[in-house]
A and B are shown apart, each in its own frame.
Chain A
């Protein structure tokens, strides 16, 4: 069976090469035959990758220990669903999943545009296929998932306990769907340059694809944060770890692109900049994979270090060099059609937004790679961690939040003083009001107060925009407010979807502010019946139990939680001891309310039978997840715009 797997990947390599060659030939000669066979080869790679995944999954589920990958990442006592998800627990399997998603994107792309006979779309498929060459080559010649052991062990090494979590079953595939998806925008950009295409139609198409994978990447990042919160047991969800930063960077540049692309659509400006942003987003998602897998930087997430680092670095260098050369070669195509008329305008705010997003990405990049950079420049290796990012990134992020409120209400070309006055007085007033109200509740410090001001400011501008929209349609529409809002959104999904995304971002910022600035902590050893007080909560130890699970033994502290003297529930904080990994795993107890999370960790059981308990109050942390959900909702609305457009296109002759 393993030979079949190797053969499938090898054939995939062959098909990818064929696809690139055939499409290139078709583009040169204008023959449609080679283009058609090239398209079919892309489909074939998708089928072959799927076949290889099924073969590996079959081995994983059967715990066939003759496979090195299976022996390294599973064990016989591993629950079935984790055996399934260990496909992406290690490097070879992760790369295989990459290939599957990549080829699925290629096929989905061809499916979506199968009626278009424009060779432009074949050129995009050719770019996708050339990236498939890289991944099939890696999987065939450098790190094959189908290596067979000379002497199969009686049992495997087991799955890292950190990965035995429901979150880990969905976080990596969703994150990869986001990462890998940027191949399509990248393909569009390269195709535009290769074929010297002008026009804005591709810009609209690329916006939809970017919105799609940008959304997935965002959800993936948040799921990762959620996993870290529940599984890593340190009371937080974001630690500015290199791997976290790696996933954030393409998301930030993607966000910049989604904004600046609107200027190109409306005013035909910033063309070079937009192409550069697409290329950068794609390179950063490859760089993210490189960081996670190369072991260049120390991270809690770098589960396996390996030899594929140089390959990725080489790929990034090659692809960015080609892209840069093409941009320079096609300078004339990317000439701007208009000039900026005033700084205080929609364009100006977008430009400012872009500068800030790129600065944020740059600071994150610099901080993440600082050990490598400082060693190269000064000879001493210096590392920076969370305090650096909090100092540098927080003010930039707050400036962006303020801009979220200002940008959408500035008019295109030039905003007049009366417009400014009309749009800004009420939001600014609400911002000041919110800040004044927050101070007696214990808010202090410049950044928290700016954040509160900005949150109220942005929320007010969004509400005003909705109100204005409804007002303008007053004579057309009557009915209840919710249905009026729904109709308004339906009429301009991109615009109001965008506002909803902004609203979600505000909610997320409130969550980050609350949980980072107002966190409370308490700890202590508790004997049966003893209590630990933290904020309004009292935790009383009711006992410690021992239990056996499928592949771990579990020690649990049973805690009665009361808030202000009123019993609110019984919680179980545990430590699981995984016999295979010879390692304990903290299992956090979480009492979650809209206002705050009570987060409880069992440190261990002492000789005298007392349990060491550490507890945190994380205010408003649920806002982070709710903000994320609101953003997803907004993305759905903004992206669903395309259905309507498509239908109109079909009707048009």
Chain B
């Protein structure tokens, strides 16, 4: 019997270790989804700093200094806007009005997200709507 108990203990130890890694991983690296409106309407600094936002690039708001390189723009969900600062090269598909996903730290005093990750969604599916209807 000692063998199977040892086996169970060993498996439990592995499960516990992996569980521990996952839990602390989520706690320390998890980013909460927020809408631009929710974040922009906060009147005090939120408890956590890591956030993930979906929205579009507000047209005319893009300031890009490719020497640094630093990309700054306003992101909008149609109602509110929030400033985004991203230190890195502008992604190829990035442009006014494009859908973007931003992950990073929100600094309440600046009312800005300092993005560690910026993903631009591919625009093709929106353009494809211009093709019109199928032949019946």
Chain A residues with CB under 8 Å of chain B are 66, 68, 71-72, 147-151, 153, 157, 160-162, 233, 298-300, 302-305, 340-343, 351-352, 355-356, 359, 362-363, 366-367, 370-371, 374-375, 380-385, 387-388, 391-392, 395-396, 523-525, 581-586, 601, 603-604, 606, 610, 612, 614
Contact with A along B28-69 (1 / 0, CB 8 A): 111111000000000000000000101000000000001101
Q: Would you call A371 and B22 a contact (CB within 8 A)?
A: no
Q: Would you call A523 and B69 a contact (CB within 8 A)?
A: yes
Q: Would you call A72 and B26 a contact (CB within 8 A)?
A: no
Secondary structure class of chain B's binding surface, majority of residues: mixed
The 6 A-B residue pairs whose C-beta atoms are closest, nearest first, are A381-B33, A387-B29, A612-B66, A525-B67, A388-B29, A391-B25
Query: Mind listing 6 A-B residue pairs with CB under 8 Å?
Result: A302-B121, A370-B30, A387-B29, A523-B69, A581-B123, A585-B92
Cβ contacts under 8 Å, A147 to chain B: 134
Q: Pick the contact of B14 from A356, A392, A523 — CB < 8 Å?
A: A356
Q: Pick the contact of B124 from A149, A303, A396 — CB < 8 Å?
A: A303
What residue in chain B is nearest A381 (Cβ atoms)? B33
Known: A304-B124, A343-B6. 13 other contacts (CB 8 A): A72-B131, A148-B134, A341-B3, A342-B3, A352-B10, A366-B22, A370-B26, A382-B26, A383-B31, A388-B30, A603-B90, A604-B90, A614-B69
What residue in chain B is nearest A239 (Cβ atoms)? B117
Q: B79 at interface (Cβ–Cβ under 8 A)?
A: no
What residue in chain A is nearest B11 (Cβ atoms)? A355
Cβ contacts under 8 Å, A300 to chain B: 119
Residues A604 and B66 in contact in the complex (CB < 8 Å), given A343-B7, A359-B15: yes
What residue in chain B is nearest A306 (Cβ atoms)? B125
Q: Pick the contact of A359 from B7, B18, B54, B128 — CB < 8 Å?
A: B18
Give the complex CA separation of A380 and B11 in angstroms: 32
Residues A382 and B25 in contact in the complex (CB < 8 Å), given A304-B125, A585-B92, A603-B89: no
Residues A150 and B134 in contact in the complex (CB < 8 Å), given A391-B24, A524-B67, A612-B67: yes
Cβ contacts under 8 Å, A352 to chain B: 10, 14
Q: How far is the CB of A344 from chain B (nearest CB, A)?
A: 10
What residue in chain B is nearest A577 (Cβ atoms)? B92
Cβ contacts under 8 Å, B122 to chain A: 160, 162, 302-303
Q: Pick the contact of A612 from B15, B69, B103 — CB < 8 Å?
A: B69
What residue in chain A is nearest B31 (Cβ atoms)? A383
Q: Pick the contact of A391 from B29, B89, B101 — CB < 8 Å?
A: B29
Give the complex CA separation of A107 and B95 in angstroms: 48
Q: How far is the CB of A145 from chain B (nearest CB, A)?
A: 13
Chain B residues with CB under 8 Å of chain A are 3-4, 6-7, 10-11, 14-15, 18, 21-22, 24-26, 28-33, 52, 54, 66-67, 69, 89-90, 92-93, 95, 101, 103, 117, 119, 121-125, 127-128, 131-136
Cβ contacts under 8 Å, A160 to chain B: 122, 124
Residues A72 and B128 in contact in the complex (CB < 8 Å), given A149-B135, A150-B134, A359-B15: yes
Cβ contacts under 8 Å, A582 to chain B: 95
Cβ contacts under 8 Å, B3 to chain A: 340-343
Q: How far is the CB of B16 from chain A (nearest CB, A)?
A: 11
Give the complex CA separation of A299 and B101 in angstroms: 9
Give the complex CA separation of A579 and B21 in angstroms: 47
Q: Would you call B22 and A148 a contact (CB within 8 A)?
A: no
Residue with the highest number of chain B CB atoms closer than 10 Å, among A162, A352, A583, A601: A583
Q: Would you call A148 and B25 a contact (CB within 8 A)?
A: no
Give the complex CA separation of A383 and B127 in angstroms: 29
Q: Would you call A150 and B133 a contact (CB within 8 A)?
A: yes
Cβ contacts under 8 Å, B52 to chain A: 383
Q: How far is the CB of A521 from chain B (nearest CB, A)?
A: 10
Q: Would you call A298 and B119 a contact (CB within 8 A)?
A: yes
What residue in chain A is nearest B52 (Cβ atoms)? A383
Cβ contacts under 8 Å, B18 to chain A: 359, 362-363, 392, 396
Q: Would you call B32 and A381 a contact (CB within 8 A)?
A: yes
Q: How far is the CB of A399 from chain B (nearest CB, A)?
A: 9
Give the complex CA separation of A383 and B51 in angstroms: 9
Q: Pick the contact of A583 from B32, B66, B92 — CB < 8 Å?
A: B92
Cβ contacts under 8 Å, A363 to chain B: 18, 21-22
Give the complex CA separation of A148 and B136 in angstroms: 8
Give the complex CA separation of A363 and B18 in angstroms: 8
Give the complex CA separation of A385 and B101 in angstroms: 12
Give the complex CA separation of A366 and B21 in angstroms: 12
Q: How far is the CB of A163 from chain B (nearest CB, A)?
A: 10
Give the complex CA separation of A161 and B122 in angstroms: 10
Give the complex CA separation of A362 and B121 in angstroms: 27
